[in-house]
Amino acid sequence: MMKDKISEIYDALMHDDRLSAITIKSFKRPETLEDDQTSIVIIPLGPPIQSDQGSNTSLSKTFLYQINVESINHIECKELQRIVEKIMESQGFYQISGGLDEWIPEIKRYADARTYKGKSKLYDDY
């Protein structure tokens, strides 16, 4: 059975009680979400990449995701991104360079976007 890494990350975030009041989506923040509502969005930065080859086949995949936290409160952004970081680490992902940390006047929210890289276990089917 084929696995879906973005669903695994989504499930891990959804099952953390500290994030229960936060809207969590993949790909894009819902347009129907009120401007003052906090959100977390999981954005794939490309398809899974083959890695760890052996016997003329790929044995694992590398994944690259951006996790955006948006809030009208700067401290809340930082606190939530710290929780996300720990959850991503538990899923085998680590932060790499890239992202942003700023107030965006057009949307009237702080955005803390971080890039995470991770790899599947050998022989997992993604």
The secondary structure of 41-86 as a DSSP string is EEEESSS-EEEEEETTEEEEEEEEEEEEEEES-HHHHHHHHHHHHH
As given in the structure block, the two tokens for residue 97 are 């360079």
Give the global pTM: 0.89
Residue 126 lies in a domain: no
User: At 38, which CATH number?
Assistant: 3.30.2000.30
Residue 22 lies in a domain: yes
Separation of alpha carbons 9 and 85, rounded Å: 11
Give the domain extent around 36.
Answer: 5-119
Residue 124 lies in a domain: no
pLDDT tens-digit profile, the chain (126 residues): 668 999 999 999 999 999 999 999 999 999 999 999 999 999 999 999 998 778 778 888 999 999 999 999 999 999 999 999 999 999 999 999 988 899 999 989 999 999 999 998 877 777
The domain total for the chain is: 1
Residue 113 lies in a domain: yes
Residue 125 lies in a domain: no
CA distances to 10, 11, 50, 58, 75 from 14, rounded to whole Å, are 6, 5, 28, 31, 21
